[in-house]
Amino acid sequence: MANDVFTFLVGGKAGEGVKKAGSVAAHIFSRMGRHVFEMDDYMSLIRGGHNFSVISTSTRWVSSHYMHANLLVNFDKRSCETHINDIAENGILVYNSDEQERNEGIGIPLTSEAEKYPMKRLMYGVGAVAILSSAIGFKKNEMNAIIKQEYPRGIEDNVKFADTIYDLMNDQCNNKFPIEKGDKERKIITGNESISLGSLAGGLDVYYGYPMTPASTILHYLASLAENFGIAVVHAESELAVINMALGSSFSGAKSVVGTSGGGFALMTEGFSLAGMTEAPVLVVFSQRPGPATGVPTYTEQGDLSFALTAGHGDFLRIVASPGTIEEAYYLASELLELVWKFQTPGILLTEKHLSESSMTVEIDVEKARWAESKMHQTDSYKRYLDTDDGISPLIFPPSKEVIKWNSYEHDQEGITTEKADIIAMMHDKRNKKLSSLLKYLRTKNTVNIIRGKYPLNIFTYGSTYMSVLEALKYGDFKPSIIQPIYLSPLPVWELEEFKDQNNIVVEQSVTGQFSNLLKEKAGLEIKKTIKQYNGRPFDPINLFNQIKEASK
Amino acid sequence: MSDPSLKTEAEITWCKGCGNFGIFTAVRNAIEQLDIKHKSRQNFVITAGIGCHAKIFDYLNISGVYSLHGRDTATAQGIKIANPELKVITFSGDGNGLGEGLAHTLFAAKRNQDITMILHNNSVYALTTGQFSPLTEMGWEGPSTPGGSIEGPFNAISLLIEAGATFVARCFAGKIDHLTETIKKAVEHEGFSFIEVLQPAVPYHRWSEYNEKVDFLEIEPESREKALKTAREVSRYTLGIFFQESKQVYHKALYGDHNPTTKRLSKNERLKKISQILEP
């Protein structure tokens, strides 16, 4: 366990308020001015099973949860058994003494105390908050204020129940983990909220989605904000409808964004290709979970990188980029919306369950968002697919006196279907010119995050795994260089040139090492070792540090 | 004849005598007449799927999206949701709209999206050499069913009424005036309007097969139940408006009188709201 990090783990059955207790704990820490990272682990079911939330907090920026917790609260036996090896040195396991007898840990009779109230087991979460409050030396009145605010249903019962549990805990372990206050209170948001807000900042007018974990919460969050921001949010009949509706909306001049995971994106590839041909600006948020097929819906992986890079039939320009942190997700969402409108081609914000659904304290410079705009038609005699030096044809939207034709068939400059050899080749060339224009533009942008280290060793990583790597190296106080390409298509090879023959290690969450292969093929990097994890779980910083240390020998 | 500016210079590649010519003429007549009435030509937007029907996209000098096979109805809905000022007509075929794109067609009707769908029913996959379609009678000897097709057809009219369309009609490419008038009514109807147009594809069917059989509804049914009953009982060649009703349209239920494109919030207004959300 990192000495400067305190970790709280709460586990139990779905429906017992585990996730809520986790989020309340995170808010207690953030109100103390501390940094927080929360990871929710849940199964694809509605009631029962085993869910848990892990919250790591520190007075410094913390970018991962730690699996070894200082304080564990388990509502049931299964949870205790699952987390028996997740207790940090000097950590405390709190168990439900109505369900089992144990020699170690602190037993609290959660069930018999909760049975006294009409909400029964729904109160376990309140109990967890009381246990945490006692353990960190939180005063009762401070605890009650939070419970009143966070658990508004049956406030009196909740406060009474919390009071009892707090006292029971105090008798056995009061103020065991006095944690110091941090510098200031920060907002806690999830990755999907950050992506949503970044999209809104970048100009999102319409959002289409079909529920699929781990992207669904973008649909939910934007639906809740729709009226406030004057946007349209539509839950359509399928991902096929989603991508084609989005494309229709782009034709009307609306900045459209869609969100999905691997299976849904597989259905979208047909429309993604249509966006390539019609030169439709559409942004897809693609949040990965373990595949193939239905895979493991509520867990994390990076196994769809190759799929994202080549999605859709035909030769066309695809922009793919992946945020390394929840904060970066805000900026990148707006920047990708800007790029797809600037270059009139589809783009993908590639992420993972670990970023989408984890939450952390953030400080976002809201003003730093980009704004989507496009080259607009100014003069007379409009041609939708006018051949220009940079390959970008000016846009204009209906209603207009000009006739605007977007065409799925190969077409001439007016957008009329063609089968003529010279025009087919000319239009391929025209669209392909956009790649050179994009490369020229990206060379002026920050496309790779590089943290220069003290050792002749480079760690390459991307997406949410970047957060795991940062925390692992902070834990180990080990300082190799860390290189995180934000852009994956086109890959900014110009930024990677200097590392070609150096001592390079890749960290990623794919069994075949897709990211490692990309770096070898596109950037010609020599890779000494690829550290992979593909069990659906994000890396634990301590475990990852040990693997990096081992690989660096 | 209709306004020549409604035609592009694209070479027309429908077969000589194709029923699509009748639809093309009626659509141009309808747009021209509606334009005189409402001064609305710039507001017309079309989408088309893929198939013989869709070639109309290249010939009609109106803005729009030449979509994918079966997806034109989804594209049309996206256009309308983004900017409800636009009058969207989607052209579809029987295979396109009731095969590959069936879900989009039914959901557009279920939502009462304020768009018009013209389904060119030639009862065959013409462009791909004559396979049976979702509206082909059982026993069709096409290249994919050499022993005769073993599936019966949908009844497009009752299907669309059941799904929630609020204007449902059948027309014939050989009755251009009736088709023109029906298209005008469909476009002026607020809600999802659906017209099945019987359209002979001459390599596979003869005009005489249609001319002998077409007749008109005697009276327009006055309720949904009666319309369904009539649609099931009359011949597949009976023309007329089977059903129309007034019902809230999708985009108004979604955001009232708002328009997400023309009334979008400025960057500054958005950033202000986001800053508020991000306050701890």
What's the pLDDT at B271?
A: 98
What's the pLDDT at A174?
A: 73
Tokens for B237, please give them.
């060649």
- A338, A368, A398 — which closes off a domain? A368
Query: Do residues A485 and A524 share a domain?
Result: yes
User: What residues of B are in contact with residue A195 (Cβ under 8 Å)?
Assistant: none
Query: Quick one: closest CA in B to A226, which residue?
Result: B255
Assess contact for B242 and B222: CB atoms under 8 A.
no
Helix axes A421-442, A326-343, angle to 10 degrees: 140
Give the count of domains, chain B.
Answer: 1
Neighbours of A498 (CB within 10 A): 11
What's the pLDDT at A1?
A: 46
Average pLDDT over every residue of B252-260: 98
What's the pLDDT at B118?
A: 98
Tokens for B66, please give them.
């030449």
What's the pLDDT at B158?
A: 98
How many residues belong to chain A? Answer: 553
Q: What are phi and psi of A530, to 5 degrees?
A: -115, 120
The residue whose two tokens read 């089968």 is: A419
Assess contact for A317 and A277: CB atoms under 8 A.
no
Give the whole-angstrom CA distance, residue A126 versus residue A124.
5
Query: Do residues A229 and A322 share a domain?
Result: yes
Query: Do residues A43 and A125 share a domain?
Result: yes
Q: Does B38 touch chain A (CB under 8 A)?
A: no
Give the whole-angstrom CA distance, residue A237 versus residue A142.
47
Average pLDDT over every residue of A420-433: 98
What's the pLDDT at B39?
A: 87
Reported as a single tens digit per residue, the pLDDT across A505-521 is 999 999 999 999 999 99
Inter-chain residue contact A241 with B74, CB threshold 8 Å: yes
Domain that holds residue B227: 4-277
User: What residues of B are in contact with residue A402 (Cβ under 8 Å)?
Assistant: 63
Q: Does B183 touch chain A (CB under 8 A)?
A: no
Nearest to A195 by CA among A311, A281, A321, A20: A321
Inter-chain residue contact A228 with B273, CB threshold 8 Å: yes
Average pLDDT over every residue of B82-107: 98
User: What residues of A are in contact with residue B104 (Cβ under 8 Å)?
Assistant: 237, 240-241, 244
Inter-chain residue contact B78 with A232, CB threshold 8 Å: no
Assess contact for A242 and A269: CB atoms under 8 A.
no
In terms of Cβ atoms closer than 10 Å to its own Cβ (0-12, 13-18, 19+), residue A140 is middle
Average pLDDT over every residue of B15-35: 97
Average pLDDT over every residue of B189-208: 97
A130 alpha carbon, distance to own chain's centre: 30
Average pLDDT over every residue of B111-116: 98
Q: Residue B12 pLDDT more than 70?
A: yes
Query: Do residues A196 and A133 share a domain?
Result: no
How many residues belong to chain B? Answer: 280
Q: What percent helix, strand, coil does chain B show, rounded to 5?
A: 40, 15, 40
Reported as a single tens digit per residue, the pLDDT across A260-285 is 999 999 999 999 999 999 999 999 99
pLDDT confidence tier of residue B272, bands split at 50, 70 and 90: very high
Query: Do residues A233 and A364 share a domain?
Result: yes
Query: Do residues A147 and A204 share a domain?
Result: no
Inside any domain, residue A177 = no
| Residue in A408, A409, A420 to test binding to B, most B beta-carbons within 10 Å | A408
Looking at CA atoms only, how far is residue A174 from chain B in angstroms?
A: 29
* CB contact burial B230-250 (16+ within 10 A = b; e otherwise): bbeebebebbbbbbbbeeebb
Reported as a single tens digit per residue, the pLDDT across A435-471 is 999 999 999 999 999 999 988 999 999 999 999 999 9
* ipTM higher than the 0.95 cut: yes
What's the pLDDT at A460?
A: 98
In chain B, % of residues over pLDDT 90: 97
Reported as a single tens digit per residue, the pLDDT across A99-145 is 999 988 999 999 999 999 999 999 999 999 999 999 999 999 999 99
Tokens for A357, please give them.
């659904």
Tokens for A69, please give them.
């917790």
Query: Quick one: closest CA in A to B81, which residue?
Result: A249
Tokens for A161, please give them.
């129940």
Inter-chain residue contact B64 with A406, CB threshold 8 Å: yes
User: What residues of B are in contact with residue A200 (Cβ under 8 Å)?
Assistant: 270, 273-274
Inside any domain, residue A459 = yes
Assess contact for A346 and A272: CB atoms under 8 A.
yes
Looking at CA atoms only, how far is residue B226 from chain A in angstroms?
A: 29
Q: What are phi and psi of A57, to 5 degrees?
A: -140, 150
Inter-chain residue contact A407 with B66, CB threshold 8 Å: yes
In chain A, % of residues over pLDDT 90: 94
User: What residues of A are in contact with residue B68 (Cβ under 8 Å)?
Assistant: 244, 270-271, 274, 408
Mean per-residue pLDDT over chain B, rounded: 97
Looking at CA atoms only, how far is residue A231 from chain B in angstroms?
A: 5
Inter-chain residue contact A405 with B63, CB threshold 8 Å: yes
Domain that holds residue A92: 5-172
Average pLDDT over every residue of B116-120: 98
CATH assignment at residue A140 = 3.40.920.10
- A122, A141, A172 — which closes off a domain? A172
Average pLDDT over every residue of B186-211: 97
Residue ranges in chain B assigned as alpha helix (H):
20-38, 56-59, 72-82, 94-95, 102-111, 156-163, 176-188, 207-213, 224-233, 250-255, 267-277
User: What residues of A are in contact with residue B254 (Cβ under 8 Å)?
Assistant: 232, 234
Query: Do residues A533 and A474 share a domain?
Result: yes
Query: Do residues A100 and A28 share a domain?
Result: yes
The partner residue sitting opposite B270, judged by closest CB among A200, A403, A407, is: A200
| Residue in A245, A313, A373 to test binding to B, most B beta-carbons within 10 Å | A245
What's the pLDDT at A10?
A: 98
The residue whose two tokens read 């400067």 is: A4
Inter-chain residue contact B278 with A197, CB threshold 8 Å: yes
Q: Residue A2 pLDDT more than 60?
A: no
The partner residue sitting opposite A245, judged by closest CB among B8, B81, B264, is: B81
Pairing verdict, β B238-244 and B193-198:
unpaired
CATH assignment at residue B111 = 3.40.50.970
Inside any domain, residue A373 = no
Provide the whole-model pTM.
Answer: 0.98
The partner residue sitting opposite A232, judged by closest CB among B43, B65, B254, is: B254
In chain A, % of residues over pLDDT 70: 100
The partner residue sitting opposite B277, judged by closest CB among A197, A227, A414, is: A197
Query: Do residues A149 and A202 share a domain?
Result: no
The residue whose two tokens read 């141009």 is: B28
Average pLDDT over every residue of A234-259: 98
Q: What are phi and psi of A466, to 5 degrees?
A: -55, -45
Inside any domain, residue A402 = no
Average pLDDT over every residue of A350-373: 98
Reported as a single tens digit per residue, the pLDDT across A185-237 is 999 999 999 999 999 999 999 999 999 999 999 999 999 999 999 999 999 99
Interface contacts (A, B; CB < 8 Å): 188
Q: What are phi and psi of A461, to 5 degrees?
A: -155, 170
The partner residue sitting opposite A232, judged by closest CB among B86, B260, B280, is: B260
Query: Do residues A227 and A195 share a domain?
Result: yes
Inter-chain residue contact A278 with B65, CB threshold 8 Å: yes
Query: Quick one: closest CA in A to B84, which residue?
Result: A252
Q: Residue B1 pLDDT more than 80?
A: no
User: What residues of B are in contact with residue A183 (Cβ under 8 Å)?
Assistant: none
Reported as a single tens digit per residue, the pLDDT across A58-84 is 999 999 999 999 999 999 999 999 999
Residues 87-146 of B with CB under 8 A from A: 103-104, 107
- Beta-carbon contacts of B156 under 8 Å, excluding residues fewer than 6 positions away, are B94, B98, B119, B121, B135, B170, B194, B196
- DSSP summary character for residue A522: H
Inter-chain residue contact B42 with A398, CB threshold 8 Å: yes
B97 alpha carbon, distance to own chain's centre: 8
Inside any domain, residue A200 = yes
What's the pLDDT at A380?
A: 79
Q: What single-letter amino acid sits at A14?
A: A
pLDDT confidence tier of residue A175, bands split at 50, 70 and 90: confident
CA max distance for chain B: 75
- Low-confidence winner among A86-90, A231-235, B1-5, B139-143 (lowest mean pLDDT): B1-5
Query: Do residues A163 and A234 share a domain?
Result: no
In terms of Cβ atoms closer than 10 Å to its own Cβ (0-12, 13-18, 19+), residue A223 is middle
User: What residues of B are in contact with residue A341 (Cβ under 8 Å)?
Assistant: none
| Residue in A338, A405, A418 to test binding to B, most B beta-carbons within 10 Å | A405
| Cα radius of gyration rounded to whole Å, chain A | 25
Looking at CA atoms only, how far is residue B77 from chain A in angstroms?
A: 6
The partner residue sitting opposite B274, judged by closest CB among A201, A248, A254, is: A201
What's the pLDDT at A433?
A: 98
Q: What are phi and psi of B89, to 5 degrees?
A: -115, 125
Query: Do residues A198 and A320 share a domain?
Result: yes
Give the count of domains, chain A.
Answer: 3
CATH assignment at residue A312 = 3.40.50.970
Give the whole-angstrom CA distance, residue B83 versus residue B262.
7
Give the whole-angstrom CA distance, residue B83 versus residue A548.
53
- A368, A383, A414 — which closes off a domain? A368
Q: What single-letter amino acid sits at A68?
A: H
Determine the number of helices (DSSP H) and then strands (DSSP E) in chain B: 11, 8
Inter-chain residue contact B104 with A409, CB threshold 8 Å: no
